[in-house]
Homo-oligomer: A and B are copies of this chain.
Amino acid sequence: MATTRTDPLTLEVVDLIGTVVARYYEEYDRAAAAHSLTGAQARVLGLLSLEPTPMRKIAQKLKCEPSNVTGIVDRLETRGLVERRPDPADRRVKLAAATEKGARTALQLRESLGFAREPLAELSHAERAVLRDLLRRMLGVDAES
C-alpha cells in the first residue's frame, strides 16, 4: 500500500471526490430553491417526511444546536409544510411532522435530485457494483446484501 499522501493517483481521486461533493451540493440547493426552500429547510423537511421527530433529535441529525431548529421549523410551519404536535409520552417534547403538503413537497424534492443518479446511468450494472464495493470499503461500511 503506497503512501496515500503524495502519489498522483490518490491526489486525482481526492480531487474527483471534491468535484462530486461540489456538484452534489449545487444540485441539492438548486432543487431546494426550485421550491423556495433553503438547503437546511429541505434537509429538515426530508427528515420529517420519513417520520415525526422531536426537535432535539432534528438538531442531532443536522449536527447543530437545538436553538437553531426552532427557527427552521418555524419557517416551514409558516408555509404549512410542517406542524408541531405534542408527544403523548412526554409533555416537554414537541414532535415536528410533515403535513400532507410537506410530504408532497419532500417527494418532489427527492425525485428532482437527479444527481448521482443521472451520472450513474453512464455506468453499467457491473461497474456500479464495483463502485458500490469500493465506496463501502472507503467508508468502512459493512456489506449487508
**Chain A interfacial positions (CB closer than 8 Å to B):** 1-2, 4-5, 8-10, 12-14, 16-21, 23-26, 63, 116-125, 127-132, 134-141, 145
Contacts and interface: CB of A to CB of B under 8 A. Distances in A.
Given A116-B14, A116-B18, A135-B13, A1 B121 contact: yes
B136 A26 contact: no
Contacts of A16: 132, 135-136, 139, 141
A132 B9 contact: yes
Contacts of A135: 13, 16-17, 20
B130 A130 contact: yes
Contacts of A132: 9, 12-13, 16
